[in-house]
Structure 1
């Protein structure tokens, strides 16, 4: 939240002189910050100044690290857990391949070269 408020305030201060109708208030800038930080990127509000674009780029990269990447890791963990539960219902243990994420015991599983 702190990152969102700081970046939104900065973008408001930088962009409002160049785009007063787009960045008309800090809440409008918070909308931009939320959409950029979560990497949704609707495209309805975007910076036009060089400094604003630099801040936007940095914020988008931070958003990947803070939201998108952890969400993917979390989804993968849920998927593995669901696969393990399904296999337990069938009465066998699941061994997940660290390379492809497939159950090693279920055909077809391809051999992977050693690391």
Structure 2
């Protein structure tokens, strides 16, 4: 006896097993995606919405002195 030795024989049993299998995947996949998205969002660290006077880029690091896109000196917060 090994993996896959027992399987539903009737059509109704196969359909029911398929539905339960898909629900099981959903129970694992959906929370994993939500948790992963929150971890990525929180890993970005703090950002300040100071706009660069040269290229108008926003969300620079709090200790940034120059724009990370164009190199223009940023105004003090």
Under a length normalisation based on structure 1, what TM-score does the superposition of the two structures give?
Answer: 0.34
Between structures 1 and 2, the one with greater helix share: 1
Larger radius of gyration: 2
In the superposition, the TM-score normalised over structure 2's length comes to 0.46
